[in-house]
């Protein structure tokens, strides 16, 4: 089974900005890039520990990881699974274009884990909404 998926509010805006950038390019195919982003999120869900910790936020204790997918970087947190949520939670924190020097810069969202603090039914709803 896959971990629960939690998506921070800023992710929709990030995806929109990335797709708007692609759409302005003569070679841009927004639909294909949207699929690339979705595949990156799925890859992070399937193997959340496959990517090493790239940044640590001492104020919240959150470890951020980066999953590359085509020209995008999916920034996510994967706190260790607990007894209550044995599968764990993948919290997508941001989606950035890989051309950025530091894809972790500016990812300062407060701790919203995450669905781990919610009941499993609420976490399922969060996962289904994506």
CATH number at residue 26: 3.30.2310.20
- pTM comes to 0.77
Q: What stretches of the chain adopt beta strand conformation (E)?
A: 4-7, 53-57, 62-69, 72-77, 89-97
Q: What is the tally of structural domains in the chain?
A: 1
98/92 Cα distance (integer angstroms): 16
The first and second tokens of residue 71, run together, are 């020209």
Q: Which residue has the tokens 């929109």?
A: 16
Domain assignment of residue 26, given as a range: 4-129
63/46 Cα distance (integer angstroms): 18
pLDDT of 110:
54
pLDDT in tens, 54-69: 888 777 778 899 999 9
Residues 75-97, mean pLDDT to the nearest whole number: 86
Question: Is a pLDDT exceeding 90 seen at residue 105?
Answer: no
């Amino acid at each position: 089974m896959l971990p629960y998926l939690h998506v921070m509010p800023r992710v929709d805006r990030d995806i929109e900005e990335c797709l708007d950038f692609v759409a302005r390019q003569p070679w841009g195919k927004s639909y294909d890039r949207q699929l690339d982003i979705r595949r990156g999120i799925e890859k992070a869900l399937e193997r959340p520990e496959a990517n090493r910790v790239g940044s640590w936020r001492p104020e919240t204790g959150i470890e951020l990881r980066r999953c590359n997918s085509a020209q995008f970087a999916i920034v996510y947190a994967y706190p260790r699974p607990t007894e209550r949520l044995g599968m764990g939670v993948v919290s997508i924190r941001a989606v950035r274009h890989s051309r950025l020097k530091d894809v972790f810069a500016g990812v300062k969202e407060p701790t919203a884990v995450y669905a781990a603090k919610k009941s499993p039914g609420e976490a399922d709803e969060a996962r289904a909404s994506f």
